[in-house]
Amino acid sequence: MVTGDFVAVQDADLEYDPRDLRRLVEPLREGIADVVFGSRFRSSSVSRVLFFWHYAGNRILTLLSNMFTDLNLTDMETGYKVFRRELIQELELREDRFGFEPEVVAKLARKRPRIYETGISYRGRTYEEGKKIGWKDGVRAVYCIFRYGAHHAAWPMQLITYLVIGSLSAVVNLILFALALRVGSSILVAAPTAFVLAAAFNYLACVLLLFRHKARWGSVTEVFIYLVVVAAVGVADLVITEGLVAAGLQPLIAKGAAAAACFMFNFLGRKFFVFPEPSAGAWRPSIG
């Protein structure tokens, strides 16, 4: 049980100097910050020179995280952070290892606290000295950036994320459509069958990644809204496909054009009708 005013997180291998803690706590004591991150990439007293690709990876992960959270951190993956106690206690955290940093940053960004950075010293270890991080940790960090950040990201980033999901769904749609045609199905059967199965894939990916915490199946109305959106896009998909085939295009090309035309409709329907969620206000310390 934490009872103090502030909570500090520091890696246990002493790559970060405990004496820098005073520097991190100062903005909280002054009342100007709710969270302070120690950055290895801001000016500090001393930093050990080590691996270029670790540096590049940290920069890329920080950039990707910032794109989803709309923050301008310089070192998202830092192992040195100080929080106001009541703020960190409000966060429901799940990750350990290197997924913790993108998760806590994404969930902090959602609450919009006052976040500050300060330069810290860094004496990194080599693998011979016991360093454990590997490429799998980088992959996990990318996954966590999407998992915890995409559903509250700004429009452009949500659209890009849905473009990835939609592109995969379109590939599934085309493959199933081609297979149905190969076994002798008509376009009237192949197009809606492929669409429904691809829509199921799309929905699962949206729930697991993009709109992870926005699915609300508490009433018949919500299920009905989802089915209406899917049906509307499905009808548009079929009409466009048949119209382009009638105009002389090859079936696969027509199907691809229909999938592209329905992409934005799909995204808007899911964002505003299927998975709506009000925006949270800025976090303020509780007054007891």
More confident residue, 59 or 216: 59
More confident residue, 2 or 35: 35
The string of pLDDT tens digits covering residues 185-221 is 888 888 888 888 888 887 778 777 777 545 455 556 7
Q: What integer pLDDT is reported at residue 277 of this predicted model?
A: 65
Most confident segment among 121-125, 133-137, 153-157, 236-240: 236-240
Q: What integer pLDDT is reported at residue 146 of this predicted model?
A: 85
Using the predicted structure, report yes or no on whether residue 222 has a pLDDT greater than 80.
no
What mean pLDDT comes out for the span 119-131? 72
| Per-domain boundaries in the chain | 6-152, 155-274
Please state, in angstroms and rounded to a whole number, the distance separating the CA atoms of residues 191 and 179. Answer: 11
What mean pLDDT comes out for the span 42-67? 80
Q: CA distances (Å), 101 to each of 52, 81, 150, 229, 233, in order?
A: 21, 10, 15, 36, 38
Q: What integer pLDDT is reported at residue 81 of this predicted model?
A: 93
Most confident segment among 29-38, 90-99, 211-220: 29-38
Please state, in angstroms and rounded to a whole number, the distance separating the CA atoms of residues 181 and 250. Answer: 12
Q: Where residue 288 falls among pLDDT bands split at 50, 70, 90?
A: very low
The string of pLDDT tens digits covering residues 126-144 is 666 656 777 787 889 888 9
Reported as half-sphere exposure (CB side, CA atoms, 13 A), residue 275 has a value of 20
Reported as half-sphere exposure (CB side, CA atoms, 13 A), residue 176 has a value of 19
Using the predicted structure, report yes or no on whether residue 244 has a pLDDT greater than 70.
yes
What mean pLDDT comes out for the span 42-56? 71
Tell which residue, 286, 288, 225, 233, has the closest CA to residue 263: 233
What mean pLDDT comes out for the span 99-116? 92
Sequence-separated (6 or more) residues with CB below 8 Å from residue 104: 81, 91, 93
Q: What integer pLDDT is reported at residue 147 of this predicted model?
A: 84
Q: What integer pLDDT is reported at residue 278 of this predicted model?
A: 58
Using the predicted structure, report yes or no on whether residue 167 has a pLDDT greater than 60.
yes
Please state, in angstroms and rounded to a whole number, the distance separating the CA atoms of residues 105 and 77. Answer: 9
Domain 6-152 has CATH 3.90.550.10: yes
Alpha-carbon torsion (216, 107, 28, 86), positive or negative: positive
The overall pTM is greater than 0.75: no
Q: CA distances (Å), 30 to each of 2, 23, 26, 39, 204, in order?
A: 21, 12, 6, 20, 46
Please state, in angstroms and rounded to a whole number, the distance separating the CA atoms of residues 148 and 60. Answer: 17
Average pLDDT, the chain: 82
Q: What integer pLDDT is reported at residue 212 of this predicted model?
A: 58
Strand ranges across the sheet with 35-39: 6-10, 80-84, 35-39, 115-119
Show the DSSP H helices in the chain as ranges: 21-29, 52-69, 85-90, 100-111, 135-149, 155-182, 187-205, 220-246, 251-261, 263-269
Residue count of the chain, please give it.
288
